[in-house]
Amino acid sequence: PQDLERYLAGRTLILLSNREPYEHVRSEDASAEDGIALRRPPGGLVSALDPTMQRTRGTWVAWGSGSADRETAGEDGRLMVPPECPSYTLRRVWLDDADVEGYYLGFANSALWPLCHLLLQHYETRAEHWARYHAVNARFADAVAEEVARAPGDAVVWIQDYHFAAAPAMVRERLAATGQKAFIHQFWHIPFPPPDILRLLPTEAQQGVLRGMLGNDLLEFHTERYAMNFMDCVAALVPDVQMRREHRRIHFEGREVHVGAFPISIDVARYEGLARRAEAARRAEQLRVRYGANGATLGVSVDRIDYTKGIPERLRALDQLFEEAPEMRECLTFLVVATPSRSELASYKALEDEVLASVAAINARWSTPEWTPIVLFHENIGAEELAAIYRAGDLCLVSSLQDGMNLVAKEFVACNVDEQGVLVLSRLTGAAEEIEGAVLINPFNVDGVVAGLREAIAMPQAQRRARMRAMRARLRRATIFDWLASILARVDELAPPAAEPLPR
Ligand code: G6P
């Protein structure tokens, strides 16, 4: 926090993300004023960035959805947050149905998302989707440029994620047109693909994405591999650039674009604290007695229902395990938390139906009067309950087919306060490049997943403890606040503050 203070002195942060940190929704709840309640998204990103925004008094620009959001913001979409201590501005940008269809469901989630995750069978491209994505990015860029104009001190624009690949260059253009200055950077929260994959985008979109991202002064990825993929794409597909790969630097249109790896993390103390509460210990014990009685192993998995997460592959492995190892029956129960996500898209809805059907089929095939192999939590689960589930788990299986980082792996490690759990982790996650001590698997190889599960179940107590201790010690030194500090330190290095620190 002290470092953060130093990096932020004299600067005003203008943040851009698709999801907002405070959302107003209609509610029947008695506590809701005028029938409107405030929802704070549970994500780790908001929990780290909200206090930072409160400190810098900047502006967070995001998609305002729904009528309650409109009613609670001013004419210009602005309001002060958080409600209990208004200290920074939330600026909502309004999207209509066609915008959401083309920008969010279309180009972001049906083209970029599957391509970046190398899952080509889900890739769809439509000229209208790119056109909307481009137009919506331009609207967000307008809002960001307006906020820079209002910012006291040195403005730093920080753009989040694949929803805004085109925006950085647009922000730069608008600032140049009005003679304003700001440092522009972007964190890319998902993998970045190699050139052979990015080539599958129509030329206009492909160029729009790469040249848009080159509008940044600094581009942050989770891993070196994604950063190098980005550099390879630029080298292969954008003419007239020079680059110094060893310096992670691209020379483009007379400026330097820096690229780097900054692996994201979680608020470790918060998760650990949740898991250590007496209430969580009680709930974990209750889950263990109910589902892991008589020494049975309790497995857990937690995901949004997304085809990148390898949920059907995981279920196939469990089915095969019970088939080939009869001694595992009644000795392994899996708690599968699967939260519906992006259900407006046919591929997500179909996946949800598939997951429900496979769980039912596996349970019908193997259940006994005393035992049900898979317990499905098909809902959004709060952080308290999640921490108890993680604490109860003897093993946690992450089987993503491709995943930028995967924070579930880190949440499990933070919550495993009894230090007896084993993490079985897909090699195809950013987390696998960072975490040492997990049992690594390839989710495409079902036999290998089965072998990994058997290894985890059979692992002696002392080895479990040693591995979990090492993973926990390392995680405590790399929290989301360390991630944030390392990015701000890099910004500070590349653009030392010009203005005197503002009085707070
Ligand atoms: C991923 C993305 C986030 C996104 C989240 C949930 O983690 O990187 O930007 O917010 O998925 O998806 P949703 O489409 O519901 O925002």
Q: ipTM value of the model?
A: 0.98
Q: Each residue of 171-188: pLDDT tens digit?
A: 999 999 999 999 999 999
Burial class, 460, CB count within 10 angstroms (exposed 0-12 / middle 13-18 / buried 19+): exposed
Q: Is the pLDDT of residue 451 over 80?
A: yes
Among 16, 18, 402, residue to substitute to test ligand 1 (most atoms within 8 Å of Cβ): 18
Average pLDDT value for the chain: 95
Q: Each residue of 284-325: pLDDT tens digit?
A: 999 999 998 888 999 999 999 999 999 999 999 999 999 999
The phi and psi torsions of 332 (rounded to 5 degrees) equal: -145, 120
Instruction: Look at residue 500 in the predicted model and tell me its pLDDT.
Output: 60
What is the average per-residue pLDDT within 136-152? Answer: 97
Distances (CA, A) of 334 to 2, 47, 284, 314: 42, 29, 14, 11
Shortest-distance Cα residue to atom 7 of ligand 1: 189
CB contact at 8 A, 55 and 85: no
Q: Is the pLDDT of residue 503 over 60?
A: no
- Copy the structure tokens of residue 241: 């650039």
d(CA 171, CA 187): 15
CA of 494 to the centre of ligand 1 (A): 29
CB contact at 8 A, 168 and 186: yes
**SS3 state at 185:** strand
What is the average per-residue pLDDT within 71-90? Answer: 95
- Copy the structure tokens of residue 341: 């996500």
Q: Each residue of 232-270: pLDDT tens digit?
A: 999 999 999 999 999 999 999 999 999 999 999 999 999
pTM given for the model? 0.97
d(CA 72, CA 33): 11
70-109: burial string, b at 16+ Cβ within 10 Å, e else: eebbeeebbbebbeeeebbbbbbbebeeebbbbbbbbbbb
Burial class, 175, CB count within 10 angstroms (exposed 0-12 / middle 13-18 / buried 19+): buried
Shortest-distance Cα residue to atom 4 of ligand 1: 19
pLDDT range class, residue 16, cuts 50, 70, 90: very high
CA of 145 to the centre of ligand 1 (A): 24
Among 253, 246, 240, 162, CA closest to 205: 162
Q: Is the pLDDT of residue 502 over 70?
A: no
Q: Which residue is associated with the tokens 């079902």?
A: 446
Q: Is the pLDDT of residue 15 over 90?
A: yes
The one-letter amino acid code at 173 reads: E
How many alpha carbons fall within 13 Å on the CB side of residue 28?
0
Shortest-distance Cα residue to atom 14 of ligand 1: 342
CA of 272 to the centre of ligand 1 (A): 24
What is the average per-residue pLDDT within 9-34? Answer: 91
Q: How many CB atoms lie within 10 A of CB 484?
A: 22
Closest approach atom of ligand 1 to CA 160: 9
Residues with CB under 6 A from ligand 1: 19, 161, 189-190, 341-342
The dihedral region occupied by 422, where left means phi > 0, alpha psi between -120 and 50, and beta the remainder, is beta
Give the angle 139-19-211 at the CA atoms, nearest 5°.
50
